[in-house]
Amino acid sequence: MPVASRAGLRPMTPRPPLHLALALDGAGWHPAAWREPRARTAELLDARYWTDLVQEAERGLLDFVTIEDSLGLQSDRFDGPDARTDRVRGRLDAVLIAARVAPLTSRIGLVPSIVAGHTEPFHISKAIATLDYVSSGRGGVRVRAGTGGAEAALFGRRAIPGIALTELERPEVVELITELFDEAADYVEVVRRLWDSWEDDAEIRDVATGRFVDRDKLHYIDFEGRWFSVRGPSIVPRPPQGQPPVTVLGHATVPYRLGARQGDVVYVTPRDADDARRIVEEIRAEQDAAGRGDETVHVFADLVVHLADSAAQAADNRARLDEWAGAPQGSDALIVAGTPAELADLLLDWQPAGLSGFRLRPAAIPHDLEGITRGLVGELQSRGAFRTAYEAATLRGLLGLPRPANRYAAAAASTPTAAV
């Protein structure tokens, strides 16, 4: 029921509850987090470690977790590997982590990262569809454009020049980045068509007649583009969600455009509420230009968080990690150090800028992860700003996204039947 305004002149529509996602990466997002006494550094390559983290996030009723991945070693450098030995290096495959964790969780969404450009869309469509099945409709994917020259060198199929941060405004670099993100858009289009290449009722499983599949309900996608030529169909039936949510991280117009064209969730990195409002407006304009103005595309702000019972303790925790690292932490996202109540204030202050939610990056695991699930969540719940129970069994359901119709079945239904 609408809440009356203080002046009593007209009703105020209550703000929608926030969506919260958790970004998981190794021992945490601070490069020295692995040195914390509670860090489980010896278990970073252990399935139990990842299961524990996701189960903790599920106890906090978060919408989903993302799992970082890449096709090269982690690096402090933008343009290739570094030679540091005081950082976590090496990781497990994100899709396989998600598949391992899926049967041991029941409600939280699982969104591994994949890199377009060096992997094949057919393989990824199959992997994410499988994840959606083993999680009973909780799979998703975060798509990264393959922008690293070092990553390309590992595969040897193509040469991509290294890109330094200082060169991002050069016309030839802008052209290259635009091309790589256009390739990623085609990549996602192929993946989405493959997910639809089986109609929902293509599997008959009729023992009496001996028919397992209705072959007329399997479709060639016949995608022909600059980078991909894929006929299909997939070998995995249509996923339980129809289309598992696609998510994209963006820092500028070109990746915003990818999210607006092909994404269900776009992660962004604003510095304040005004910056968030400007970014949301740009994404909405790109969404309209892509002909998706009437579709839901969520915009989540990314934040790196250091949490403690007092602001002073959070600042001390951050300073200690910075001292171990030998330099202040740098990040593409805003770094916030404070109490759960202070973080809740920030989230609710930023929400009216048009943000659907936030993807939080815990600086140190498990400390800041628990600060989110056991501190921030309770603070938001006390303000009526976050769920107190899961209201849906699928990731699309948690995000308020309808299950889409199959494009090929819809096309067949709209084709007039020839007279006999």
Numbered residues of the known binding site for FMN: 69
Element (H, E) at 311: helix 311-325
CB-CB contact of 298 with 280 (8 Å): no
Distances (CA, A) of 350 to 152, 196, 277, 361: 38, 37, 9, 17
The structure tokens 């609710």 sit at 348
Classify 61 in phi/psi space as left (phi over 0), alpha (psi -120 to 50) or beta. left
Cβ neighbours, 10 Å, residue 185: 22
SS3 at position 116? strand
CB-CB contact of 138 with 395 (8 Å): yes
Q: CA geometry: angle at 68 spanning 63 and 71, to 5°?
A: 150
State the binding site: 69
d(CA 37, CA 40): 8
Chain centre distance of CA 237: 23
Contacts of 192 (CB under 8 A, 6+ apart): 243, 246, 262
Q: CA geometry: angle at 141 spanning 140 and 147, to 5°?
A: 170
CB-CB contact of 414 with 405 (8 Å): no
Helices (H), 114-210: 121-134, 149-155, 171-195
R_g of the chain, CA atoms, integer Å: 22
Taking the chain, what is the end-to-end CA distance rounded to the nearest angstrom?
A: 56
SS3 at position 173? helix
Maximum C-alpha span of the chain = 80
Question: What token pair was written down for 24?
Answer: 């998981």
CB-CB contact of 339 with 308 (8 Å): yes
Element (H, E) at 288: helix 273-289
Question: What token pair was written down for 89?
Answer: 């290096």
